[in-house]
Structure 1
Amino acid sequence: MLKKLLPVFTVLLTSMTFAQDNPLSVHVLNLENGLPSANVEVVLEKNSGNNWVKLNQQFTGLNGRISALYPENKKLEQGTYKVTFKTEDWFRKNNQKTFFPEVPVIFKVDGSVSHYHIPLLLSPYGYSTYRGN
């Protein structure tokens, strides 16, 4: 039995280690009910001159989090980044309308910290975000 579970534990441990070492995470909470917002599509882009270059795209988990949004095996560089939360799709899937089809959060990475966390507090007609830890 243990031999069968060993590969599963190895994968879980590897992904947990990566998540801890990843420099960017996000979290989405629904302000109407205080619960995590699962399955919100999130896109990460980096500014390059006059263009945004897509680096990654994921969906929040059951806990409303993406603990490792930055691409694996890539060093976080200084610069301007954008995390876009695709809120309209999430509200539609939850049978609600929203005023905001998406919430773009643009932020600067200056290298002063090793991890950036961006929480989004979401409701159909308002949102709030801040630099978390």
Structure 2
Amino acid sequence: MNSLSTHVLDATSGSPAAGMRITLSDTDGTSLGAGVTDRDGRLRDITGPLPEGVYRLVFATAEWFASRAIESFYPEVTVTFRIPPGDGHFHVPLLLSPYAYSTYRGS
């Protein structure tokens, strides 16, 4: 089975996005897990082992920026990704600013 983690960095301050709420769901919208990033902006082991399939991570970006009195353009960022057959670890980082974001498959 596969494991999943994420890491959120605030590109405007160059620091981890600690305290961001993140949810994991399948494509039907069924919630599979949730959590909040730690002080290093990481959320490890969002859920138990995941079989192959398509999943969504939803980052509560507007809520996070609002808690810092920063206006932002995106109310949330949704990253949809595919876990292929086989076993492995999948890491989905998010680089974030109030008006842009970027993601990639990490290691």
Query: 2:19 aligned with 1:39, yes or no?
Result: yes
TM-score by length of structure 2 reads 0.94
Query: 2:81 aligned with 1:111, yes or no?
Result: no
Query: Which amino acid is 2:69 matched to?
Result: N
Q: Provide the residue aligned with 1:28 in structure 2.
A: 8
Distance 2:67 2:44 in 1: 23
Q: Percent identity?
A: 39
- The Cα RMSD (Å) is 1.5
Q: Provide the residue aligned with 2:62 in structure 1.
A: 88
Distance 2:75 2:83 in 1: 26
Distance 2:102 2:42 in 1: 16
After superposition, the C-alpha distances for 1:20-77 in whole angstroms (9 at most, x for unaligned) are x970000000001110000100000012xxx211001100000000111123xxx311
Query: Which amino acid is 1:68 matched to?
Result: D
Q: 1:122 aligns with which of 81, 96, 99?
A: 96
Q: Which runs of 5+ in 1 are unaligned?
A: 1-20
Structure with the greater relative contact order (CA < 8 A, sep ≥ 6): 1 or 2?
2
Note if contact 1:84-1:103 (Cα within 8 Å) is conserved in structure 2.
yes
Query: Which amino acid is 2:99 matched to?
Result: Y
Distance 1:44 1:30 in 2: 20
Q: Provide the residue aligned with 2:39 in structure 1.
A: 62
Structure 1 segments, 4+ long, off by >4 Å, are: none
Q: Greater helix percent: which structure?
A: 1
Q: Which has the larger radius of gyration?
A: 1
TM-score by length of structure 1 reads 0.76
